[in-house]
A and B are shown apart, each in its own frame.
Chain A
């Protein structure tokens, strides 16, 4: 971490008479093993917290960059050693490399992810998708979309498709399983009613999406079914400006 230690001008520092330069001293007991990382971590972080509001975002982002490698801090998170050891035993074998891909379902408000490596073949994958999307019955009182999640019981059928490394949308099941796991980038469960429609009809309406943050995008008819819906579910409610349907 290379965050500058700022000279604090807030009341707290003045009251305590401590400057951060002072706290950066690392006088160690003779013969003691010094643990500079931890001390530095906390004093750097203090500098972060002391910074102006406008720079908090920047310093916060740099001080806790999420993905690996995370600095290993002793005793953190505060989980009992007993629990840590017990779960390490239980988890044992599941350290193999995973391949997580996004799964979009037409009409679902958010995407899920599945680990393709966790399944031995198409049957298991499809069973898992069935379980994940069509057999739960969440009833959230203040959301309005989610009741539209369709149960398999309703009879609405979905066709599994996937995007391969070339960017083409393919039907799941044609190639050997291993090859599929290799090339699959994302999955989409398409309503089978749409899958059987003529997608390249000139009379099909064009959709123009106004993204609140970026410029508007126009999509060609061929892409409409496949990509527009996909992007719809990914836009957050704040980003989504308006939807215009032109015929």
Chain B
């Protein structure tokens, strides 16, 4: 550390800790992650001051961990904020509606304290039309809006964004529940508006005015990402592509029509013009006859999301086998082992694989074989999400040996409690091999028949594990105890339908404060333990849920009452005030 930055005039330079804040702010701008910045801020008070005043990007992983006002006071210079709301298991219907996670308080506070805000990203939160109107009205420089798995708004809200955000660069709507008010929100982008770089409305259910869309696409010369919804017919896709050959990322929306050689030719020409296309998604209802139209872009593709394409068979495999530079592949299990074998031999640069379940019980042939093949032949594979029907310890051990570089391993065997289908043993040995071999594992989901032994391995070996998802596993409290007393880096733990009770929870109460959150549903918890936990740990919010609501006050219930759903998270904001009737904070 030099003496630079001081106004040296020949006199001794000021000691380094007296350097002006601007110096530190500049230095901190080189720190790559928020964690690094947080660590720096903890060093001393001047660093704390400098760091928080220069923080431009803030990620709030749990919207209830801190009050919006506190966040704004502490970090006054934020230009991009990302906030997440409901617990992860809300994605699977385990959290009843109206639980909370409203974006409104954050937007209201931001409107007040961050007038220069440019980017907002919400995940699993309730965003209303009023929220979107407020965004459009409050931030002169607003550029990026990203909504993932949110609900509560309609096309009316989108209209407000389109009309009001003159500098908008990105409108990214991923898997939201959007009400269709038949408002032509797209036409509300003014004719003078040309700044769009990303437009993703793939989750929108309603009709879209194609002419308006074409005009928008034509005048936004910087458009790089375009993801269409189901309402865009195939021939219109071809003309859109011809107007935007500079696209890097395309979501095709629907990709089916009766086969017509003219249309095929038109599509082929359109795709042929897209020399920069790197990411492809959509292909809902894809008709195999049209897949060859993609062939000319296959070589350049780094990301392919066919997880909504119900196409199967040789056309699918032929197509994927041409994508030699693929880094990310999302498919349905219709690809079968055969297809994954082709992926293994064709896509040597693959880093992420996700295989989703289709509804065809036992008809396809996707087994552990496919995953073993890919793990053997794709040296850069580090992230896997795999739904299948059967697994063996041997396969998992092989996979672990092949790929010690996994950072994310999520295996979901569809039927709970499924053992190794050859030996009928629990899958403890297999998952143990994974955590022992993959030292950098950050995220893990386990499934199948599992005893407490697997938790012993996880607790002992998974030092970098940050998120763990458990379902229908374990024998006793020991299982949970292994996890909570080990797993040094654990941040998020979610458990459902496991025989874990009060004891390990209370014995490891302090651990919970080092974690972001804990979810436990359909386990063996009692109200008494939750009360004890809340008393012991004032910085934890202990929420219990009972569907359909509490018919008598919580205070009157005995300690032995079972708790169906528990959600515990650390917070500096105290108990939240927006709980619905079925949630009680202990």
Interface residues of chain A, those whose CB is within 8 Å of chain B, are 8, 10-13, 15-18, 23, 26-33, 35, 38-39, 41-43, 45-46, 48-50, 53, 56-57, 60-61, 63-64, 66-68, 70, 73-83, 86-87, 90-91, 100, 113, 131-132, 135-136, 138-141
5 contacts between A and B (CB under 8 A): A15-B478, A41-B497, A53-B425, A60-B424, A90-B285
B478 near A87 with CB under 8 A, answer no
A15 to B472, CA, bound (A): 21
Would A64 and B415 be within 8 Å (CB), given that A81-B91, A113-B363 are in contact? yes
User: What residues on B are CB-neighbors of A136 within 8 Å?
Assistant: 314, 317-318, 338, 342
User: What residues on B are CB-neighbors of A86 within 8 Å?
Assistant: 284, 308
Binding site secondary structure of chain B: loop
A76 near B314 with CB under 8 A, answer no
A78 to B313, CA, bound (A): 26
Interface residues of chain B, those whose CB is within 8 Å of chain A, are 89, 91-94, 149, 175-177, 203, 284-285, 307-308, 310, 313-315, 317-318, 338, 341-342, 345, 356-359, 361-363, 373, 377, 387, 412, 414-419, 424-426, 445, 449-452, 469, 471-472, 474-479, 496-499, 501, 503, 522, 524, 546-548, 550-552, 557, 560-562, 564
B92 near A87 with CB under 8 A, answer no
B92 near A82 with CB under 8 A, answer no
B522 near A131 with CB under 8 A, answer no
B548 near A82 with CB under 8 A, answer no
| B475 touches which of A50, A73, A76, A141 (Cβ 8 Å) | A50
| B92 touches which of A17, A23, A43, A80 (Cβ 8 Å) | A80
Minimum C-beta distance from A139 to chain B (A): 6
User: What residues on B are CB-neighbors of A10 within 8 Å?
Assistant: 475
A139 to B341, CA, bound (A): 8
B92 near A39 with CB under 8 A, answer no
A64 near B546 with CB under 8 A, answer no
Query: In this complex, which of B357, B415, B450 has the most chain A Cβ atoms within 10 angstroms of its Cβ?
Result: B415
Minimum C-beta distance from A53 to chain B (A): 7
User: What residues on B are CB-neighbors of A80 within 8 Å?
Assistant: 91-92, 149, 175
Minimum C-beta distance from B58 to chain A (A): 26
Would A46 and B522 be within 8 Å (CB), given that A32-B546, A66-B362, A87-B308 are in contact? no
User: What residues on B are CB-neighbors of A30 within 8 Å?
Assistant: 551-552
A172 to B472, CA, bound (A): 49
B359 near A87 with CB under 8 A, answer yes
Task: Report the nearest B residue to A73, measured CB to CB.
Answer: B416
A29 near B557 with CB under 8 A, answer yes
A142 to B479, CA, bound (A): 39
Minimum C-beta distance from A85 to chain B (A): 9
Task: Report the nearest A residue to B426, measured CB to CB.
Answer: A49
User: What residues on B are CB-neighbors of A39 within 8 Å?
Assistant: 522
User: What residues on A are CB-neighbors of B313 within 8 Å?
Assistant: 131-132
Minimum C-beta distance from B344 to chain A (A): 9
| A49 touches which of B315, B342, B415, B449 (Cβ 8 Å) | B449
B416 near A91 with CB under 8 A, answer no
B338 near A18 with CB under 8 A, answer no
A45 near B417 with CB under 8 A, answer yes
Minimum C-beta distance from B243 to chain A (A): 27
A76 to B473, CA, bound (A): 14
B419 near A131 with CB under 8 A, answer no
A49 to B479, CA, bound (A): 13
| A63 touches which of B357, B417, B451, B497 (Cβ 8 Å) | B417
